[in-house]
Amino acid sequence: MAIAVSFALLIRCFLFGSFRISSSCMEDSLLPGDYIIASKISYGVRLPQTLLSIPFTHDSIHFLGTKAYSSRLQLPYFRIGKMMAKRNDVVLFNRPSQRKTDVPLDKQKIEISRIAGLPGDKLQFDEKISFPVVINGKSTLESPLVKKFYSFPYSEIKEIKNVLKASEGGPFQIFHKQRDSLAFCLLNRLEFYKIKEDLPKSIALLPYSLPGKMTSIVIPARNMTIKLTPDNIERYETIICCYEPVRALKMGNNIYVNSKKITSYTFKYNYYWMLSDNREAQSDSRCYGLVPETNIISKASSIWFSVSTYGTPKSYFRWNRFFQIVR
Protein backbone atom coordinates (compact mmCIF):
# COMPACT_ATOMS: atom_id res chain seq x y z
CA MET A 1 0.00 0.00 0.00
CA ALA A 2 2.77 2.42 0.96
CA ILE A 3 4.62 1.63 -2.28
CA ALA A 4 1.49 2.28 -4.35
CA VAL A 5 0.87 5.62 -2.62
CA SER A 6 4.52 6.64 -3.07
CA PHE A 7 4.38 5.70 -6.76
CA ALA A 8 1.18 7.72 -7.25
CA LEU A 9 2.78 10.69 -5.50
CA LEU A 10 5.85 10.51 -7.74
CA ILE A 11 3.70 10.45 -10.88
CA ARG A 12 1.54 13.35 -9.66
CA CYS A 13 4.50 15.47 -8.53
CA PHE A 14 6.87 14.90 -11.44
CA LEU A 15 5.08 13.49 -14.52
CA PHE A 16 1.34 14.09 -14.94
CA GLY A 17 -1.58 15.66 -13.13
CA SER A 18 -5.34 15.89 -13.51
CA PHE A 19 -7.17 19.20 -13.43
CA ARG A 20 -10.89 20.04 -13.54
CA ILE A 21 -11.99 23.04 -15.64
CA SER A 22 -14.35 25.11 -13.52
CA SER A 23 -14.46 28.45 -15.38
CA SER A 24 -15.52 29.57 -18.85
CA CYS A 25 -12.23 31.36 -19.65
CA MET A 26 -11.14 28.75 -22.23
CA GLU A 27 -14.49 28.17 -23.97
CA ASP A 28 -14.93 26.58 -26.46
CA SER A 29 -11.60 24.75 -26.48
CA LEU A 30 -12.17 23.67 -22.87
CA LEU A 31 -15.55 23.68 -21.16
CA PRO A 32 -16.54 23.76 -17.49
CA GLY A 33 -16.76 20.12 -16.45
CA ASP A 34 -13.82 18.96 -18.59
CA TYR A 35 -11.16 16.95 -16.76
CA ILE A 36 -7.76 17.28 -18.40
CA ILE A 37 -4.43 15.49 -18.19
CA ALA A 38 -1.51 17.89 -17.88
CA SER A 39 2.09 16.98 -18.65
CA LYS A 40 4.61 18.24 -16.10
CA ILE A 41 7.59 17.18 -18.21
CA SER A 42 6.76 19.32 -21.28
CA TYR A 43 8.73 22.32 -19.96
CA GLY A 44 10.95 20.46 -17.53
CA VAL A 45 9.95 19.23 -14.09
CA ARG A 46 9.43 22.01 -11.55
CA LEU A 47 10.47 20.60 -8.20
CA PRO A 48 8.07 21.06 -5.25
CA GLN A 49 8.98 24.03 -3.07
CA THR A 50 6.62 23.46 -0.14
CA LEU A 51 7.91 20.38 1.66
CA LEU A 52 5.25 20.19 4.39
CA SER A 53 2.02 19.54 2.50
CA ILE A 54 -0.87 17.06 2.63
CA PRO A 55 -0.64 14.70 -0.38
CA PHE A 56 -3.17 15.09 -3.24
CA THR A 57 -4.22 18.57 -2.10
CA HIS A 58 -3.30 22.03 -3.36
CA ASP A 59 -3.62 24.92 -0.93
CA SER A 60 -6.53 24.03 1.37
CA ILE A 61 -8.82 21.36 2.76
CA HIS A 62 -12.15 22.69 1.55
CA PHE A 63 -14.52 20.92 3.97
CA LEU A 64 -12.41 22.09 6.94
CA GLY A 65 -11.55 25.53 5.60
CA THR A 66 -7.91 25.16 6.64
CA LYS A 67 -4.56 25.28 4.85
CA ALA A 68 -3.21 21.99 3.50
CA TYR A 69 0.42 23.00 3.94
CA SER A 70 2.96 24.67 6.18
CA SER A 71 5.38 27.23 4.72
CA ARG A 72 8.06 26.59 7.35
CA LEU A 73 10.20 24.47 5.04
CA GLN A 74 10.68 25.98 1.58
CA LEU A 75 13.05 25.16 -1.28
CA PRO A 76 14.06 27.74 -3.92
CA TYR A 77 12.68 27.50 -7.44
CA PHE A 78 14.41 24.84 -9.54
CA ARG A 79 13.41 23.07 -12.75
CA ILE A 80 14.99 19.89 -14.16
CA GLY A 81 15.37 19.76 -17.94
CA LYS A 82 14.17 23.32 -18.54
CA MET A 83 12.48 23.82 -21.94
CA MET A 84 10.78 26.82 -23.55
CA ALA A 85 7.02 26.90 -23.90
CA LYS A 86 5.60 27.47 -27.38
CA ARG A 87 3.08 29.93 -28.76
CA ASN A 88 -0.52 28.65 -28.57
CA ASP A 89 0.31 26.07 -25.89
CA VAL A 90 -2.48 25.74 -23.31
CA VAL A 91 -0.75 25.81 -19.94
CA LEU A 92 -1.48 25.50 -16.24
CA PHE A 93 0.34 28.00 -14.06
CA ASN A 94 0.26 29.67 -10.67
CA ARG A 95 -1.45 33.03 -11.10
CA PRO A 96 1.19 35.74 -10.52
CA SER A 97 0.55 37.90 -7.49
CA GLN A 98 1.07 41.56 -8.31
CA ARG A 99 2.31 42.27 -4.81
CA LYS A 100 4.52 40.57 -2.24
CA THR A 101 2.78 37.60 -0.63
CA ASP A 102 3.54 35.01 2.04
CA VAL A 103 1.79 32.25 0.06
CA PRO A 104 4.44 29.89 -1.42
CA LEU A 105 4.69 29.99 -5.21
CA ASP A 106 3.55 26.38 -5.71
CA LYS A 107 0.49 26.98 -3.49
CA GLN A 108 -0.77 30.08 -5.27
CA LYS A 109 -4.02 29.91 -7.29
CA ILE A 110 -3.85 27.75 -10.43
CA GLU A 111 -5.01 29.24 -13.72
CA ILE A 112 -5.24 27.88 -17.27
CA SER A 113 -4.75 29.93 -20.43
CA ARG A 114 -3.14 29.97 -23.86
CA ILE A 115 0.31 31.42 -24.53
CA ALA A 116 0.06 34.29 -27.03
CA GLY A 117 3.30 36.18 -26.42
CA LEU A 118 6.77 34.65 -26.01
CA PRO A 119 9.90 36.05 -24.35
CA GLY A 120 11.34 38.81 -26.53
CA ASP A 121 8.10 39.50 -28.42
CA LYS A 122 6.79 43.03 -28.90
CA LEU A 123 3.04 43.16 -28.29
CA GLN A 124 0.44 45.73 -29.21
CA PHE A 125 -3.11 45.29 -27.97
CA ASP A 126 -6.16 47.19 -26.86
CA GLU A 127 -6.84 46.85 -23.14
CA LYS A 128 -10.62 46.64 -23.73
CA ILE A 129 -10.95 45.15 -27.19
CA SER A 130 -9.99 41.46 -27.21
CA PHE A 131 -8.81 41.58 -30.83
CA PRO A 132 -6.69 42.08 -32.80
CA VAL A 133 -3.41 41.36 -31.03
CA VAL A 134 -0.31 42.46 -32.95
CA ILE A 135 2.86 40.48 -32.25
CA ASN A 136 6.14 41.65 -33.76
CA GLY A 137 4.20 43.75 -36.27
CA LYS A 138 1.86 40.95 -37.42
CA SER A 139 -1.79 40.47 -36.42
CA THR A 140 -2.46 37.09 -34.83
CA LEU A 141 -4.87 34.65 -36.44
CA GLU A 142 -7.99 34.01 -34.38
CA SER A 143 -9.16 30.46 -33.69
CA PRO A 144 -12.78 29.84 -34.85
CA LEU A 145 -13.50 28.73 -31.26
CA VAL A 146 -12.61 32.10 -29.68
CA LYS A 147 -15.62 33.60 -27.89
CA LYS A 148 -16.67 37.20 -28.64
CA PHE A 149 -19.65 39.47 -28.13
CA TYR A 150 -22.15 40.00 -30.95
CA SER A 151 -24.87 42.65 -30.76
CA PHE A 152 -28.44 42.73 -32.05
CA PRO A 153 -31.49 45.00 -31.58
CA TYR A 154 -33.17 44.41 -28.24
CA SER A 155 -36.54 44.38 -30.04
CA GLU A 156 -35.47 41.11 -31.74
CA ILE A 157 -34.47 39.28 -28.57
CA LYS A 158 -37.36 36.80 -28.79
CA GLU A 159 -36.40 35.78 -32.35
CA ILE A 160 -32.73 35.46 -31.37
CA LYS A 161 -33.62 33.27 -28.36
CA ASN A 162 -35.71 30.98 -30.55
CA VAL A 163 -32.88 30.53 -33.05
CA LEU A 164 -30.34 29.91 -30.28
CA LYS A 165 -32.64 27.39 -28.64
CA ALA A 166 -33.01 25.47 -31.92
CA SER A 167 -29.26 25.55 -32.60
CA GLU A 168 -26.90 22.78 -31.52
CA GLY A 169 -24.39 23.49 -28.76
CA GLY A 170 -24.83 25.98 -25.97
CA PRO A 171 -25.99 26.97 -23.51
CA PHE A 172 -25.80 30.40 -25.12
CA GLN A 173 -25.49 33.50 -22.98
CA ILE A 174 -27.53 36.63 -23.70
CA PHE A 175 -26.86 39.94 -21.96
CA HIS A 176 -29.21 42.89 -22.04
CA LYS A 177 -30.67 45.84 -20.15
CA GLN A 178 -34.31 46.67 -20.71
CA ARG A 179 -33.61 50.37 -21.28
CA ASP A 180 -30.90 49.79 -23.91
CA SER A 181 -31.60 49.43 -27.62
CA LEU A 182 -29.00 46.65 -28.01
CA ALA A 183 -28.63 43.18 -26.53
CA PHE A 184 -25.60 40.88 -26.76
CA CYS A 185 -24.80 37.19 -27.07
CA LEU A 186 -21.48 35.43 -26.56
CA LEU A 187 -20.60 33.22 -29.52
CA ASN A 188 -17.60 31.72 -31.26
CA ARG A 189 -17.10 32.37 -34.97
CA LEU A 190 -18.60 29.03 -36.07
CA GLU A 191 -21.71 29.60 -33.95
CA PHE A 192 -22.02 33.16 -35.28
CA TYR A 193 -22.07 32.13 -38.95
CA LYS A 194 -24.45 29.23 -38.35
CA ILE A 195 -26.91 31.31 -36.33
CA LYS A 196 -26.72 34.22 -38.77
CA GLU A 197 -27.79 31.88 -41.59
CA ASP A 198 -30.91 30.91 -39.61
CA LEU A 199 -31.90 34.50 -38.84
CA PRO A 200 -34.09 36.69 -41.06
CA LYS A 201 -31.93 39.05 -43.12
CA SER A 202 -33.66 42.00 -41.48
CA ILE A 203 -31.99 41.21 -38.12
CA ALA A 204 -28.47 42.64 -37.80
CA LEU A 205 -26.19 40.38 -35.72
CA LEU A 206 -22.81 42.15 -35.62
CA PRO A 207 -19.44 41.83 -33.81
CA TYR A 208 -19.32 44.23 -30.88
CA SER A 209 -16.54 45.78 -28.80
CA LEU A 210 -15.75 49.04 -27.05
CA PRO A 211 -12.51 50.79 -28.06
CA GLY A 212 -9.97 51.24 -25.32
CA LYS A 213 -6.36 52.30 -25.02
CA MET A 214 -3.67 50.79 -27.25
CA THR A 215 -0.80 49.36 -25.24
CA SER A 216 2.66 48.34 -26.40
CA ILE A 217 5.03 46.17 -24.38
CA VAL A 218 8.22 44.16 -24.92
CA ILE A 219 8.02 40.80 -23.13
CA PRO A 220 11.23 40.29 -21.13
CA ALA A 221 13.44 37.33 -21.98
CA ARG A 222 16.24 35.84 -19.89
CA ASN A 223 19.40 37.99 -20.19
CA MET A 224 17.49 40.73 -22.05
CA THR A 225 18.32 44.28 -20.90
CA ILE A 226 15.48 46.81 -21.05
CA LYS A 227 15.93 50.53 -20.46
CA LEU A 228 13.50 51.86 -17.86
CA THR A 229 11.67 55.03 -18.86
CA PRO A 230 8.76 57.03 -17.40
CA ASP A 231 6.56 55.38 -20.08
CA ASN A 232 7.34 51.74 -19.22
CA ILE A 233 8.49 51.70 -15.58
CA GLU A 234 4.99 50.97 -14.26
CA ARG A 235 4.76 47.87 -16.45
CA TYR A 236 8.11 46.49 -15.33
CA GLU A 237 8.12 47.47 -11.66
CA THR A 238 5.91 44.55 -10.58
CA ILE A 239 8.03 42.09 -12.55
CA ILE A 240 11.32 43.33 -11.07
CA CYS A 241 10.06 43.85 -7.51
CA CYS A 242 7.86 40.75 -7.16
CA TYR A 243 9.10 38.02 -9.54
CA GLU A 244 12.81 38.54 -10.16
CA PRO A 245 15.32 36.96 -7.70
CA VAL A 246 16.68 40.31 -6.47
CA ARG A 247 16.00 42.70 -3.62
CA ALA A 248 14.12 45.48 -5.38
CA LEU A 249 11.96 48.38 -4.26
CA LYS A 250 10.07 51.13 -6.08
CA MET A 251 10.26 54.59 -4.53
CA GLY A 252 8.49 57.38 -6.36
CA ASN A 253 9.27 57.02 -10.06
CA ASN A 254 12.47 55.03 -9.50
CA ILE A 255 13.37 51.38 -8.88
CA TYR A 256 16.19 50.44 -6.53
CA VAL A 257 17.95 47.07 -6.73
CA ASN A 258 20.17 46.22 -3.76
CA SER A 259 19.68 49.84 -2.61
CA LYS A 260 21.00 51.23 -5.92
CA LYS A 261 18.89 53.24 -8.34
CA ILE A 262 18.70 51.58 -11.76
CA THR A 263 17.94 53.04 -15.19
CA SER A 264 17.94 49.67 -16.98
CA TYR A 265 17.55 46.06 -15.92
CA THR A 266 18.75 42.67 -17.20
CA PHE A 267 16.07 40.07 -16.57
CA LYS A 268 16.86 36.71 -14.99
CA TYR A 269 13.70 34.87 -16.13
CA ASN A 270 11.63 34.39 -19.27
CA TYR A 271 8.09 35.81 -19.29
CA TYR A 272 4.90 34.95 -21.19
CA TRP A 273 1.73 36.80 -22.16
CA MET A 274 -1.46 34.76 -21.82
CA LEU A 275 -4.67 35.21 -23.81
CA SER A 276 -7.71 33.07 -23.01
CA ASP A 277 -10.01 31.73 -25.72
CA ASN A 278 -13.07 33.36 -24.14
CA ARG A 279 -11.67 36.86 -24.65
CA GLU A 280 -14.61 38.61 -22.99
CA ALA A 281 -13.90 36.84 -19.69
CA GLN A 282 -10.72 38.98 -19.37
CA SER A 283 -9.13 36.16 -17.36
CA ASP A 284 -5.67 36.44 -18.86
CA SER A 285 -2.60 38.72 -18.92
CA ARG A 286 -4.83 41.76 -19.48
CA CYS A 287 -5.92 41.13 -15.88
CA TYR A 288 -2.91 39.71 -14.01
CA GLY A 289 0.00 40.77 -16.22
CA LEU A 290 2.95 38.81 -17.57
CA VAL A 291 3.59 35.29 -16.26
CA PRO A 292 7.16 34.34 -15.25
CA GLU A 293 8.55 30.95 -16.24
CA THR A 294 8.79 30.09 -12.55
CA ASN A 295 4.98 29.99 -12.35
CA ILE A 296 4.39 27.58 -15.23
CA ILE A 297 3.41 24.12 -14.00
CA SER A 298 2.42 21.95 -16.96
CA LYS A 299 0.99 21.71 -20.46
CA ALA A 300 -2.65 20.67 -20.96
CA SER A 301 -2.47 17.63 -23.23
CA SER A 302 -5.86 15.88 -23.40
CA ILE A 303 -9.38 15.66 -21.99
CA TRP A 304 -9.92 12.31 -20.29
CA PHE A 305 -13.40 12.90 -18.88
CA SER A 306 -16.16 15.47 -19.34
CA VAL A 307 -19.50 16.10 -17.67
CA SER A 308 -22.10 18.73 -18.40
CA THR A 309 -23.18 21.20 -15.74
CA TYR A 310 -26.56 21.63 -17.43
CA GLY A 311 -29.12 19.61 -19.38
CA THR A 312 -30.79 16.29 -18.63
CA PRO A 313 -29.23 13.22 -16.93
CA LYS A 314 -29.15 11.58 -20.37
CA SER A 315 -26.76 14.26 -21.64
CA TYR A 316 -24.73 14.45 -18.40
CA PHE A 317 -21.67 12.73 -19.89
CA ARG A 318 -20.18 14.55 -22.88
CA TRP A 319 -18.96 11.39 -24.63
CA ASN A 320 -17.72 13.26 -27.70
CA ARG A 321 -15.14 15.08 -25.56
CA PHE A 322 -13.59 11.99 -23.95
CA PHE A 323 -9.90 11.55 -24.93
CA GLN A 324 -9.80 14.68 -27.11
CA ILE A 325 -6.40 16.30 -27.61
CA VAL A 326 -6.21 19.87 -26.29
CA ARG A 327 -5.36 22.19 -29.18
Whole-number Å distance between alpha carbons of 228 and 230: 7
pLDDT for the residue numbered 39: 93
* DSSP per position, 167-186: SSS-PPEEEE-TTSSEEEEE
What is the DSSP pairing of strand 90-94 with strand 110-117?
antiparallel
- CATH 3.30.70 intervals, the chain: 122-218
Query: Residue 10 CA to chain centroid, in angstroms?
Result: 26
Beta bridge mates, 152 = 183
- CATH 2.10.109.10 intervals, the chain: 2-120+220-224+267-325
Exposed e or buried b for every residue in 14-36, given b needs 16+ CB within 10 A?
eeebebebeebbbbbbbbbbbbb
Identity of the residue numbered 268: K
DSSP three-state, residue 323: coil
HEC string of 218-242? ECCCCCCEEECCCCCHHHHHHHHHH
Whole-number Å distance between alpha carbons of 110 and 100: 17
Q: Which CATH class is domain 2-120+220-224+267-325?
A: mainly beta
Query: Residue 258 CA to chain centroid, in angstroms?
Result: 33
CATH topology of domain 122-218: Alpha-Beta Plaits (3.30.70)
**Burial (Cβ within 10 Å: 0-12, 13-18, ≥19) of residue 84:** middle
Q: List the pLDDT tens digit at each of the 327 positions of the chain.
A: 556 555 555 666 667 888 999 988 898 889 999 999 999 999 999 998 998 888 778 788 777 778 888 888 999 999 998 899 999 999 999 999 877 788 899 999 999 999 999 999 999 877 665 556 888 888 776 777 788 888 888 888 888 888 888 877 667 778 876 667 888 888 888 888 888 888 888 888 888 876 667 788 999 999 999 999 998 998 899 999 999 999 999 998 899 999 999 999 999 999 999 988 887 777 889 889 999 999 999 999 999 999 986 655 556 888 989 999 998
Whole-number Å distance between alpha carbons of 245 and 180: 51
| Integer CA distances (angstroms), 148 to 1, 84, 208, 273, 310, in order | 50, 30, 8, 20, 22
